[in-house]
């Protein structure tokens, strides 16, 4: 059965060394959700400019709906300067005062979230008071949905208040290893291991699950009942890692909403992230069948 999933957040252009690529974590996530046969809806805002027009055109080419993409008459479409190091790891310079900073909880968006199975949101979209208020309204209106917080910390784009409020609102936290270490100091956590830090977040903020990504070393999931699974990383020929974490999230959520076990959802999500890391950019086509084929091949695995 197809599930309905909404992603609330930024739609922007990643300005990569080889040219611009449409991205933003919510857009990358919802693109992957749709590629698995679920019904993804992106709630975002672009500018009334050439980049906004091009973004809307490409959204349609990617098979996504533009129904809940707002157009701002004054602010430009979001852009991010992306530099890649020798390992293909991105460094982001995120431009401010852009259209998604003025996101609104429109009647259409509020109506949509009443009927979805899951809402994904992040931190960057909440860097302005207006957009943060819109996100909160949408999350509170999504009373029947699983709330999935992909924390995606970006330099100078978050506060302790934003993070703690988001954690209290969500059901599932997705976070990478570096972000977990950052939160240890930022939120005065006491644990030492990544698993225990995740457990402390579950306890302190009443989360159901933490999905932790570990770069080339794979991913883990921990539940509020203590169920824990770890899946090692895949040694692959790297394209770049842009969108691989979003792909992992989408694979995990897709499987979870289909009623698969935590272990199976983790393994599928981890493989999805690894497969996408072999491509360039966050929205290169990768089918569910390709991911299953990828999983069946004999890969060298990288342990934690």
Say what the pLDDT of residue 60 is: 95
Q: Nearest to residue 211, comparing CAs of 4, 12, 29?
A: 29
What tokens were used for 188? 């005065």
Cβ(151)–Cβ(124) below 8 Å: no
- E-assigned strand segments in 122-279: 146-150, 172-176, 209-213, 219-223, 228-231, 233-234
Say what the pLDDT of residue 129 is: 97
Say what the pLDDT of residue 19 is: 84
Say what the pLDDT of residue 183 is: 96
Say what the pLDDT of residue 154 is: 86
Say what the pLDDT of residue 11 is: 95
Say what the pLDDT of residue 109 is: 97
Say what the pLDDT of residue 75 is: 98
Structure pTM? 0.94
Say what the pLDDT of residue 30 is: 95
Say what the pLDDT of residue 99 is: 98
Say what the pLDDT of residue 81 is: 87
Neighbours of 97 (CB within 10 A): 11
| Residues in the chain where the model's pLDDT stays below 70 | 88
């Amino acid at each position: 059965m197809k599930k309905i999933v909404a992603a609330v957040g930024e739609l922007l252009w990643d300005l990569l060394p080889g040219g611009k690529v449409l991205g933003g974590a919510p857009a990358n996530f919802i693109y992957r959700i749709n590629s698995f046969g679920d019904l993804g809806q992106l709630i975002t805002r672009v500018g009334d400019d050439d980049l906004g027009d091009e973004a809307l055109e490409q959204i349609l080419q990617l098979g996504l709906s533009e129904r809940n993409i707002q157009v701002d008459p004054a602010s430009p479409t979001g852009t991010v300067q992306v530099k890649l190091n020798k390992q293909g790891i991105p460094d982001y310079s995120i431009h401010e005062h852009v259209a998604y900073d003025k996101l609104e909880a429109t009647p259409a968006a509020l109506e949509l979230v009443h009927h979805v199975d899951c809402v994904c949101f992040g931190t960057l979209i909440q860097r302005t008071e207006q957009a943060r208020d819109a996100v909160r309204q949408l999350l509170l209106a999504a009373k029947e949905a699983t709330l999935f917080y992909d924390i995606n910390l970006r330099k100078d784009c978050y506060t302790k208040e934003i993070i703690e409020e988001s954690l209290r609102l969500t059901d599932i936290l997705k976070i990478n290893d570096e972000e977990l270490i950052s939160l240890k100091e930022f939120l005065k956590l006491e644990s030492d291991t990544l698993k225990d830090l995740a457990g402390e977040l579950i306890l302190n903020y009443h989360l159901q699950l933490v999905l932790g990504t570990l770069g080339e070393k794979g991913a883990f999931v921990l539940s509020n009942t203590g169920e824990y699974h770890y899946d090692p990383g895949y040694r692959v020929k790297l394209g770049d890692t842009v969108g691989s974490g979003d792909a992992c999230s989408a694979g995990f959520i897709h499987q979870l909403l289909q009623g698969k076990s935590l272990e199976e959802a983790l393994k599928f999500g981890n493989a999805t992230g690894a497969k996408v890391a072999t491509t360039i950019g966050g929205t290169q086509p990768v089918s569910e069948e390709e991911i299953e084929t990828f999983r069946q091949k004999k890969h060298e695995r990288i342990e934690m």
